[in-house]
Chain A
């Protein structure tokens, strides 16, 4: 049990009709790590995350916490301790902040005590949200919505938290804040799988990184092993 990976992906394929978005990827994530998946637009990063969460159909093997979840329907996966903040945040805009967070705890809804504790944890992590409990989520600022999305994912105390471009559209200051919070969440024992275009931040935060291009993992390693400048030139067209 202890030696196996928390998440292991083998020969993952995602196809949208004739479009092959992910083409036979293999990778793994160990307990306690922060792992980033980098790649340019259209590389297949979101498709990979969505396949793991079963939001899209995929072929291949997905093993989470010792269990083969390749055939699981999407709604069963969070019960195993795997949460995701989707691209575009995926908040419930016509529900209040508090209701959004409560839904984050749907998998542990019978445990009132735990829910109360997690509300406190999330509100202390994101003080902005604490002041806006009864505000409709759709009226929050972009940064606050991102915090809500992360906070909501934490309400179920996941073993693995997957985030799809949490820095997108945020000011540098907010990006800093989100990344510090991710560090703290990780220190408290949550494994993190991060999809990012912001390569500098990902390098600063991650224990390991994978780089994806046109549906395949082309290189991986620790931040030291992966040189940002070559990475930029080679795969991001010098962005």
Chain B
């Protein structure tokens, strides 16, 4: 029972981690918390639903096109809405993302209505079943896919950011934009790129989660809150932090649901954030900012 709950927690946790990863990616370079993140992802889920379920395109192409829409939305929001105010009023950027949230929510309602649309799993084969520690663990193939995708994405992003010139340029842009320009780094392009990557991650998360959440305008609300929580736990600008934050949250979340009360899950998660932030304001993995003024 406990073991099964932990496994289930790891699986939900990897979805949280994927959501957190996208938030962190955009934040790392542009320092904007994207409150519209889940709603941008929701649009991609609808695109996927329309292509795959309504028009009958195959899974891979529908997935790819929907993710591409996520990339495009990331670009448009960063370049078109945030950039113009970036140097005039940085604080209003967060408000703009809230505005985008409302617009996308309304738009989805207008176009697709508020019925719950069903989207099938990518993989529907027999679930993996094995016995350990006196219990039975059942892992659906879709869950394995999610874990696999998260795992691959994390490793790729980590290596990319750590060891390539482009990755270093991302980190340089986020730390000191002016100095980055002096190195010859196209910081504007990097800001767009980070939001495009973020958009792709969000879209992927939404499509993978859709079989469980169903597709509707607020489908990503809970995942977005969990993603934020995971990101905050991880320090908000650390890739490994987002992952560990997401997985930890997923496990705690499941254990609370199983042993305390299902209604307390969200409350408990938020209580955890507050507790951790009281002890470590910079998050578990965050470093205290050593930014020069």
Contact = CB atoms under 8 A, between A and B. Distances in A.
Interface of A: 53-55, 73-79, 83-84, 86, 88, 90-95, 99, 102-104, 106-107, 109, 138, 152, 156
B179 A75 contact: no
Given A55-B178, A78-B184, A156-B184, A103 B169 contact: yes
B131 interface: no
A94 B290 contact: yes
Nearest to B291: A93
Interface residues of B, number: 21
- Interface of B, secondary structure class, is helix
Contact of A92 (B165, B171, B181, B186): B171
A106 B165 contact: yes
Contacts, number: 74
Nearest to A84: B182
B290 A107 contact: no
Contact of A76 (B175, B178, B184): B184
B292 A55 contact: no
17 contacts: A54-B181, A55-B181, A74-B182, A75-B184, A75-B186, A90-B182, A91-B179, A93-B175, A93-B176, A94-B175, A95-B171, A95-B175, A102-B165, A103-B169, A103-B172, A107-B184, A138-B290
Give the one of B169, B181, B184, B187 with max A CB within 10 A. Answer: B184
A83 B292 contact: no
B185 interface: yes
Given A86-B179, A93-B175, A106-B169, 18 more contacts: A88-B292, A92-B171, A92-B175, A92-B176, A93-B290, A93-B291, A94-B171, A94-B175, A95-B172, A95-B175, A102-B165, A102-B168, A103-B169, A103-B185, A106-B183, A106-B184, A106-B185, A156-B184
Interface of B: 165, 168-169, 171-172, 175-176, 178-187, 287, 290-292
A163 to B, nearest CB: 12
B174 to A, nearest CB: 9
Contact of B168 (A76, A88, A95): A95
Contacts of A77: 184
Contacts of A104: 183
Contacts of A78: 182-184
A68 B176 CA distance: 27
A89 B176 CA distance: 11
Contacts of B291: 93
A102 B287 CA distance: 23
A73 B184 CA distance: 10
B175 A79 contact: no
B5 to A, nearest CB: 37
Given A93-B291, A94-B290, A102-B168, A75 B175 contact: no
A-B CB proximity, top 5 nearest: A90-B179, A78-B184, A74-B181, A107-B184, A138-B290
A78 to B, nearest CB: 4
Nearest to B166: A109
A153 to B, nearest CB: 8
A93 B185 CA distance: 17
Contacts of A107: 183-184
B187 A75 contact: yes
Contacts of B290: 93-94, 138
Contacts of A95: 168, 171-172, 175
B184 A53 contact: no
Contacts of B185: 75, 103, 106
Contacts of A73: 186
Give the one of A84, A86, A102, A106 with max B CB within 10 A. Answer: A106
Contacts of A156: 184
A53 B179 contact: no
A56 to B, nearest CB: 10
Contacts of B179: 86, 90-92
A121 B181 CA distance: 23
B292 A75 contact: no
Contacts of A55: 178, 181-182
A93 B179 CA distance: 11
Give the one of B172, B187, B291 with max A CB within 10 A. Answer: B172
Nearest to B190: A75
A159 to B, nearest CB: 14
B171 to A, nearest CB: 6
A59 to B, nearest CB: 19
Contacts of B180: 75, 92, 103
Contacts of B182: 53, 55, 74, 78, 83-84, 86, 90
